[in-house]
Amino acid sequence: MYLVQNLYDQYGKYLDLELIAGESGMHRSIKKPEVHRPGLSLAGYRKSLPTARILVFGKVEISYIRELDPTSRLDRLKTVLTSATPAVIIARYYRPPKELVMICQENGIPLFRASMSATTLLSKITFILLEEFSPSVTMHGTLVEVFGVGVLIQGESSVGKSEAALGLLERGHRLISDDVVKVKKREGSYLVGSGPELTRHLMEIRGIGIINVAHLYGAVCVRPDKGLDIVIKLEEWDDRHFYDRVGLEEKFCDILGISIPFHILPVKPGRDVVLLIETIALNHRLKDMGYHSAKEFNVKLLETIAKRQEKRVAAKR
């Protein structure tokens, strides 16, 4: 549940919010990632009145309210400000009508003022709420950027996820998060991974402890978030298990309803895991550009087989 208090604590300075009245309602929940300017509703059109949205009063709304007589002003404001209204924001530090302050104070609706224009407030708050309301999931693994590709390295404990990530950093790639990765679904079509603020830029290496990647390798080796493009699962080599040697069969895993390419990478002494992860990332980029090495090889193989069969048939004749 996202509260008005959460919005104020996290983005109050960014939005330049000043609380005027209704402090008792800071616990109100914001149920919709939408913001509304109540101009039409104030004018008396009450059909399909949107509720449960943060209301932004700009110059037009304030000017219109001031032109009404006190009785109509109170009636229109009571119509717009319902029990489901999370908060009200006055743009450009306009002085709010006393009736608006009274209603917000009596009903515990937080009333703010901001220095921005109503249009700017609408766009910024909408963006913030869409971000906060995005579906998310916390996953175990290490998220790195390899050749511009967001790679989530997963596997059992002590299989070598952090060590592989450390090797990638030495080759100039970047760390997003180690151990805990928060994945968010953006615009319903793609995923973005990030790490918690507490462990940002930090890695745990068994036998060494906690290290600060930004201090060791420089700020260019870290970034706060990255789109999640592929998932690689490290597992100990099992001679009884069949591992794909061609790559025709593509695997995917479902994360928040989106299919992400999935690779199983067996690990054993002598295998350069860092090099293999780089190769998977580069191959993924080639596939995005329309080049699929395994499929091209398969087409050539089938063509070669067909030609040999034609030669055999011709020789029999």
Question: Residue 197's pLDDT is what?
Answer: 87
**Is 179 an annotated catalytic residue?**
yes
Sheet arrangement for strand 225-227: 136-140, 180-186, 190-194, 225-227
Cα(97)–Cα(83) distance, rounded to whole angstroms? 19
Q: What percent of the chain has pLDDT over 70?
A: 100
User: Is there a contact between 57 and 80 (Cβ–Cβ < 8 Å)?
Assistant: no
Q: Is 70 exposed, middle or buried (0-12, 13-18, 19+ CB in 10 A)?
A: exposed
**Is 76 an annotated catalytic residue?**
no
Q: What is the overall mean pLDDT for the chain?
A: 90
What single-letter DSSP state applies at residue 49? -
Per-residue pLDDT averaged across 297-301, rounded? 79
Q: Which domains does the chain have, with CATH numbers?
A: 4-132 (3.40.1390.20), 136-296 (3.40.50.300)
pLDDT at 50 over 80: no
Cα(136)–Cα(261) distance, rounded to whole angstroms? 19
pTM assigned to the model = 0.76
User: Which two three-digit tokens encode residue 223?
Assistant: 């970034």
Question: Residue 48's pLDDT is what?
Answer: 72
Question: Residue 246's pLDDT is what?
Answer: 72
Given CA atoms 161, 283, 168, 258 in this order, what sign does their dihedral have?
negative
Per-residue pLDDT averaged across 3-32, rounded? 94
What single-letter DSSP state applies at residue 94? P
Q: Which residue has the tokens 């420089």?
A: 218
User: Is there a contact between 200 and 177 (Cβ–Cβ < 8 Å)?
Assistant: yes
**Is 284 an annotated catalytic residue?**
no
- Taking alpha carbons only, the member of 75, 77, 86 closest to residue 110 is 86
For 151-190, what is each residue's pLDDT tens digit?
Answer: 999 998 888 898 999 999 999 999 999 989 999 998 888 9
Specify the higher pLDDT residue, 35 or 270: 35
Question: Residue 273's pLDDT is what?
Answer: 94
pLDDT at 259 over 90: yes
Could you tell me the end-to-end alpha-carbon distance of the chain, in angstroms, rounded to an integer?
Answer: 79
What lies within 8 Å, CB to CB, of 161 at 6+ separation is 141, 142, 153, 154, 155, 234
- pLDDT grade, residue 139 (50/70/90)? very high
Question: Residue 172's pLDDT is what?
Answer: 92
- pLDDT grade, residue 99 (50/70/90)? very high
pLDDT at 150 over 80: yes
**Is 140 an annotated catalytic residue?**
yes
Q: Of 36, 53, 113, 161, which one is the catalytic site residue? A: 161
User: Is there a contact between 234 and 267 (Cβ–Cβ < 8 Å)?
Assistant: yes
Q: Of 59, 66, 95, 140, which one is the catalytic site residue? A: 140
pLDDT at 242 over 80: no
Helix (H) or strand (E) holding 156: none
Helix (H) or strand (E) holding 290: none
Q: Is 158 exposed, middle or buried (0-12, 13-18, 19+ CB in 10 A)?
A: exposed
